[in-house]
Amino acid sequence: MLVAHLVPGYFITIQSKSRWQPNWTVRQCALLRLAALGSTIAPDLDVVYNVIFHDFFNHSTLWTHSLFPYISILFIWWILRQSRRWPYLQMLAWLIALGGISHLLLDVVAHGTPLLYPLLVTMVGVPPQRVVEGGVWAYLTDPIFLFEPFLLTLAAIHWLLHNAHDQRVRIIGLIILIAGLSIFTTSFLLLLPVLQETITGFILLPDGLGSVHQATDGLITATIIH
């Protein structure tokens, strides 16, 4: 999954706000928002680095997509919670853990991810086989990609309903968002056969973006897209 990873971060922030303490400063609250959103995309940042500096679209390590680092953070949160001290650190750990776990769950749906690494390198997920084998281009040309605009629209609708106070603005905004999603979905599905045919030759190339890359930690990360 790509930018839609931010959506759970948005909802996690909103859900947790009722437990933010009034004595926390503006800067501290900003850091909490940053942690909630940043942790949802952090596991894929090595891909961005690799695209810019190593000219390939893939991960350098599988650790970022393993459940264990996030369970460890959740354990830290639990210890802090039991101590009944440092409520700010508790919230920070909670948001980072949930953000990371939400990333993994979306990846499980979109294209599979090595949830149990290093115990198991097996990809856990429910994606279509062509996405698992074809990499990012196969993902971008598969109906499962529609999950991204759907989640983004959901977040935009939520934001609109809670921030636009003018009834007319709300209605117009809702119409635009729902119509936009419908038009995009319809166009995408209509164009899908052409799109899939166009990229089929490309992703089968030995050095294409969907090909197997030997990651720097020595593990094959061919089936992980992001």
> Footprint of Zn ion on this chain (CB under 5 A)?
43-44, 107, 226
Supply angle C-alpha 124, 125, 131, rounded to 5.
120
Least separation in angstroms between residue 111's CB and Zn ion is 8
Least separation in angstroms between residue 59's CB and Zn ion is 8
Least separation in angstroms between residue 18's CB and Zn ion is 29
Q: Is 21 helix (H, G, I), strand (E, B) or coil?
A: coil
Q: How many CB atoms lie within 10 A of CB 19?
A: 10
Q: Which residue lies nearer to Zn ion by CB, 64 or 141?
A: 64
Task: Report d(CA 125, CA 122) in Å as an integer.
Answer: 10
Least separation in angstroms between residue 46's CB and Zn ion is 10
Token pair 């990499």: residue: 135
Q: Which residue lies nearer to Zn ion by CB, 107 or 142?
A: 107
Least separation in angstroms between residue 107's CB and Zn ion is 4
Task: Report d(CA 107, CA 174) in Å as an integer.
Answer: 28
Least separation in angstroms between residue 210's CB and Zn ion is 16
Q: Which residue lies nearer to Zn ion by CB, 104 or 199?
A: 104
Task: Write 114-118 long-range contacts (CB < 8 A, 24+).
Answer: 114/62, 114/65, 114/66, 114/224, 115/65, 115/66, 115/67, 116/66, 116/67, 117/62, 117/63, 117/65, 117/66, 117/68, 118/62, 118/63, 118/66
DSSP β-bridge partners for residue 214: 220
Q: Which residue lies nearer to Zn ion by CB, 43 or 127?
A: 43
Contact between 107 and 113 under an 8 Å Cβ cutoff? The reply is: yes
Q: Which residue lies nearer to Zn ion by CB, 107 or 148?
A: 107
Q: What is the torsional sign of CA 52, 55, 59, 60?
A: negative
Task: Report d(CA 171, CA 182) in Å as an integer.
Answer: 16
Q: Which residue lies nearer to Zn ion by CB, 4 or 181?
A: 4
